[in-house]
Amino acid sequence: MTTTALWATVLIASLACFALKLGGHLVPRTWLASERVTRVTALVTVALLVSLVVVQGFADGNTLTVDARVPALAVAALALALRAPFILVVVLAAGTAAALRALGWG
Amino acid sequence: MNVLPTPPAARAAVRQGLSVSVATGLYGVSFGALSVAAGVGLGPTMALSLLMFSGGSQFALIGVVGAAGTPVAAIATATLLGLRNTLYGAVVSPLLQVRGWRRLAAAHVTIDESTAVAVAQPEPAASRIGFWVTGLGVFVLWNTFVLLGALAGDALGDPRAWGLDAAAAAAFLALVWPRLAPRRAQLVAGLAVVATAALIPFVPPGIPVLAAAAVAVVVGLVAPAAAPSDPESGPDSQPSSQSSSQREDAR
């Protein structure tokens, strides 16, 4: 790709991505006011977050893998069940994965 | 809507926003290093990072460029992966209630992390704080570390060695945890796991998240209206509504 084509690609794609974000913000509020939409939105939130856990915890590109992230997530779940604060959950997960990798696994 | 957040809720939102910002921001090192390695160059790498500001789309674009793909393919892939941000914008916009240039700024920092932290807060005022702290925090740290990664390459090391990928996964888990009490949320969570895991091998990154959202929409439309005891909805509630006592319990 030439430098000009590369810059054009970067700028056009960035503009398109910004337009998508702004489009969501410009959805009329009246569309979002009904009880049914509220219910759906609450469930969509759960689905998005759970899906992000799966992607961030088990995906390696297009492959599903079990590596140091999985025990780290188990530690995080245990900490959450014991009502640990947010930052502790995150630090415990990072520490678990880092320690396992330092030991040569995952 | 204009009441000040109770201090504990505001503090929790700030804490969550900052920890997510640090874990995500440090990941910018890998993008900067990979982008330069893919032949994108320092200038276009920083332009991508500052202007596109959506990790999935950025990685996808440099992937196509690095594989000698066409500009159209690069633009299409990045745009498709940015589609979920439209959904995020529609979800956070009623919580933020901003106009003018602030709305443009809010749109720009509407990403996985800022949306996740915003919707996980027990009250709208804390959601606003969580959104802005996370959005601006990730923006500053992500771009700083992209620059460092682009300049220093692999010298800074692999963020995976520090467990930062696991930290991001744990952050999302911690955000969804208090929302899993209602039976229907558990059903949707289970379906989201299955849909995401089933699609990861076959579609570009970013699409499984959209598919999981689509499953939730179907369940929400098909299921009967929530029972009065079900804390998940009410006519005047925000999308993220759930009893705050329940949230506090789970912290």
- Provide the pLDDT confidence category of residue B199 given band limits of 50, 70 and 90: very high
State yes or no: pLDDT of B235 exceeds 50.
Answer: no
Q: Is the pTM of this model over 0.80?
A: no
Report the b/e string of B31-58 with b at 16+ CB within 10 A: bbbbbbebebbeebbbbbbebbbbbbbb
Closest partner residue to A56 (CB to CB) among B15, B172, B239 is B172
Cross-chain Cβ contact B193/A25 below 8 Å: no
Q: What would the pLDDT profile of A84-104 be if each residue is shown by its tens digit?
A: 988 789 889 999 999 999 999
Taken in order B187, B193, B198, B200, is the CA torsion positive or negative? positive
Encode pLDDT of B26-66 as tens digits.
878 878 887 887 889 999 999 999 999 998 789 878 878 88
| Interface residue of A1, A50, A83, A91 to substitute, partner B, most B CBs within 10 Å | A50
B55-94 residue pLDDT tens:
878 987 887 888 777 888 889 878 877 888 998 999 899 9
pLDDT in tens, B164-194: 788 878 988 988 898 899 999 999 999 999 9
Give Cα A72 distance to the centre of its chain: 16
- With a CB cutoff of 8 Å and minimum separation 6, the contacts of B35 are B44, B45, B48, B58, B62, B146, B149, B150
| B107 closest CB neighbour out of A18, A40, A43 | A18
Phi/psi at A68 (nearest 5 deg)?
-60, -20
A74 interfaces chain B, CB cutoff of 8 Å: no
In order, the DSSP letters of B180-231 are G-SHHHHHHHHHHHHHHHHHTTTS-TTHHHHHHHHHHHHHHHHSPPPPTT-T
- Flag if A85 and B251 touch (Cβ within 8 Å): yes
What is the DSSP-derived secondary structure letter of residue B176? H
Residues of chain A contacting residue B249, judged by C-beta atoms under 8 Å apart? 83
Q: Domain segments of chain A: what residues?
A: 1-33
For the record, the structure tokens of B93 come out as: 């916009």
Phi-psi map region of B206: left, alpha, beta (phi>0 left; psi -120 to 50 alpha):
left
Interface check for B230 against chain A (CB to CB < 8 A): the answer is no
Under the banding of pLDDT at 50, 70 and 90, the label for residue B156 is low
pLDDT in tens, B103-140: 999 999 999 999 999 999 999 999 999 999 999 999 99
pLDDT over threshold 60, residue B225: yes
The 10 Å Cβ neighbour count of residue B22 is 17
Helix (H) or strand (E) holding B230: none
Q: In this complex, is the C-beta atom of B170 within 8 Å of any C-beta atom belonging to chain A?
A: yes
The answer to whether residue A103 neighbours chain B at the CB level (below 8 Å) is no
CA distance to A81, A90, B27, B97, B108, per residue, from A96 (Å): 17, 10, 18, 39, 33
Q: Which residue of A has its CA nearest to B185?
A: A43
Contact B132/A at CB under 8 A:
no
The answer to whether the beta carbons of residues A90 and B171 sit under 8 Å apart is yes
Q: What percent of chain B has pLDDT over 90?
A: 43
Most B CBs within 10 Å, among A17, A26, A78, to test the B interface: A17
| pLDDT attached to residue B68 | 78
Alpha-helical (H) ranges within B27-108 are 28-37, 42-47, 55-66, 71-81, 84-96, 100-108
